[in-house]
Amino acid sequence: MRAQPLPDFVTADVDLAGRTTLALPGRAAYLAEISSCRQLAQLANLQQSRRRFVLGGGSNVVLSGDFDGLLLRMAIAGRELLGEDADAWYVRAGAGESWHQLVLWTLARGWPGLENLALIPGTVGAAPIQNIGAYGLELADRCQSLEAFDMARGRLLHLDRAACRFGYRDSVFKQHGWHLDGSHVVTSVTFRLSKDWRPLTGYADLAAELDRRRLARPDARQIADAVIAVRNRKLPDPATVPNAGSFFQNPLVSAELGGRLRRDFPELPCHVQPDGRIKIAAGWLIEQAGWKGRDLGRVGMYEKQALVLVNRGGALGTDVMALARAVQDAVRQRFAVELSPEPVLL
């Protein structure tokens, strides 16, 4: 059967190096710039067998080479206050919006709650897929609901917070592999920002920065500024040093293993979780295993933050994965802990 022609918003043979923050070489057979649900409906109606993948800001992707399918580049815009009640403001943003700009926008309007997640790269649509988090806050803590387009059924779905099945760097999208096959595409996210706002300042780096600024009772904007300062000191700008942000998840280990590690390494940064497991700082493990600032060919672990894998220039996807495996092996041998990469290998 002859394939149906693709819509005019689909471009063939697209260079992807400038569309991912690791700046790895690769081309896409087809790329669609998606600015509306109507476009998704058009693509859903086509009887195509092409592989699909949803691309946001490109900050959580490792290109292994060329992509022979259709990339959906999310560009759905829009930010609005849906409404408010006595307890909260309800804010909706399109999937193509910059996550950091959304944070700043809500703060500028006096709606606190997202400040600890300032300067996290990527788009709003990508944020719930891996349940982004930083400095004691996760997206799940503020997400009211989201809308996603079901490409198989050609219709928009509404998922409340429970239906998203959030976990640590996890969601229903990852649990079903929807983030890999483009079968469900996030189009907008709605946030509940409580009017009973309380600052989250317990993480050591953030607390130290606030103390340095002599802010005993910081407001939400001051917390965001402190988060931005800490992140800017520790994380390289992808425009000058290509990287994918934190490359490994902070591992969750059993209470037994966590207790043993804390006895053997009293300085180990860790946090006990509600279920009894212990979250360990992956960056500390990598540094202690000897990989902070160390290169393997054309890639390396950043000298200011061991958790960040950087492209020193001219790297390929194979170089990135070779370094990732080397770091995983070193941490496993020393601590008996498995590190899991955050980015998707495409």
Which residues are known catalytic residues?
A: 169, 246, 342
Residues 35/73, Cβ–Cβ less than 8 Å: no
**Residues making up the chain, counted from first to last:** 346
Token pair belonging to 126? 């990508």
> Helices in the chain by DSSP H: which ranges?
37-45, 99-108, 161-164, 172-175, 178-181, 204-212, 220-234, 255-264, 282-288, 317-335
Measured CA to CA in angstroms, residue 341 lies from 17, 23, 77, 246, 346 at distances of 20, 18, 29, 9, 13
What is the three-class DSSP state of 110?
coil
Q: Is the CB of residue 262 less than 8 Å from the CB of residue 335?
A: no
C-beta separation of 66 from 25 below 8 A: no
Ramachandran area for residue 87 (φ above 0: left; ψ -120 to 50: alpha; else beta)? alpha
Q: Are 115 and 169 in contact (CB under 8 A)?
A: no
Please spell the DSSP secondary structure of 285-316, one letter per residue.
HHHHTT-TT-EETTEEE-SS-TTEEEE-SS--
72 near 53, Cβ under 8 Å? Answer: yes
CB neighbour class for 336 (10 Å; exposed up to 12, middle 13-18, buried from 19): exposed
CB–CB of 247/326 below 8 Å? no
Sheet containing 10-15: give its strands across: 10-15, 27-34, 67-74, 52-55
* Locus of tokens 């994918």: 244
The SS3 of residue 180 is helix
